[in-house]
């Protein structure tokens, strides 16, 4: 199975678990809460979205393979290209680093006294800097790319905090 199929299958199962969990949540019928505001609505909709995108990821490989037209020719190996084993290992290392950053952010640091915006700026900055694909981008990691990462992180953290505060009426810690 290709990485797209494995990833798509994982996302579909994860989305289904979220939908199941939201369906089994207490609906608070004793409090006469309207059906549109029960606690499981938003997670259920997010789970359905995750399932849809997982299915798209599952079907994406098939669609691209069917779209290929004409004879296929064996490509001459590029000596500068990395072997397939190294490329796969690199992806797993990147995924592990991403999971580590996410778990540290959401599981260890969030809600432990640091302001949400500052923690989110740091998380996004490190995620961008550590997981950039500098081998695919011609510019070296330097002051310019670090500044761009900082601007992106600050912009996104500010936008999220403002949306939560003024749209959802929730003050983040």
Entry pTM: 0.54
pLDDT digits (tens, 9 = 90+) for 90-123: 577 778 888 888 898 888 888 788 888 889 999 9
pLDDT top residue among 85 and 39: 39
pLDDT digits (tens, 9 = 90+) for 23-74: 988 877 777 777 777 788 888 999 999 999 999 988 875 555 555 554 444 4
Enter the tokens of residue 47: 């789970």
Q: Is the Cα dihedral 46, 57, 91, 155 positive or negative?
A: negative
- For the segment 68-81, the average pLDDT, to the nearest whole number, is 50
Q: Domain residue spans in the chain?
A: 1-73, 78-173
Q: Where are the alpha helices (DSSP H) in 25-83?
A: 41-67
**Which residues fall within 8 angstroms of residue 108, CB to CB, at 6 or more apart?**
none
Which one, of 135, 139, 119, lies nearest residue 127 by Cα? 119
Q: What is the four-CA torsion angle of 136, 139, 140, 144, rounded to 10 degrees?
A: -130
In this structure, are residues 15 and 43 in contact, taking their beta carbons and an 8 Å threshold?
no
Per-residue burial over 50-70, b if 16 or more Cβ lie within 10 Å, else e, is: bbeebeebbeeeeeeeeeeee
Enter the tokens of residue 10: 């994982």
Confidence band, pLDDT 50/70/90 cuts, at residue 152 = very high
CA distance 137 to 148: 14
CA distance 72 to 54: 29
């Amino acid at each position: 199975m290709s990485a797209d199929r494995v990833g798509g299958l994982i996302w579909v199962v994860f989305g289904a678990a979220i939908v199941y969990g939201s369906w089994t949540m207490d609906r608070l019928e004793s409090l006469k809460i309207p059906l549109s505001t029960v606690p499981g609505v938003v997670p259920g909709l997010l789970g359905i979205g995750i399932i849809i995108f997982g299915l798209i990821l599952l079907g994406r490989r098939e669609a691209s393979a069917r779209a290929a037209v004409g004879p296929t020719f064996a490509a001459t190996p590029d000596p500068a290209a990395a072997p397939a084993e190294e490329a796969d290992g690199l992806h797993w290392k990147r995924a592990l680093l991403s999971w580590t950053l996410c778990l540290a952010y959401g599981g260890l640091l969030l809600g432990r006294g640091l302001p949400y915006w500052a923690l989110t700026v740091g998380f996004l900055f490190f995620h961008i800097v550590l997981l950039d694909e500098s081998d695919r981008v011609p510019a070296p990691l330097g002051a310019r790319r670090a500044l761009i990462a900082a601007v992106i992180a600050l912009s996104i953290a500010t936008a999220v905090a403002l949306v939560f505060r003024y749209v959802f009426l929730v003050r983040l810690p």
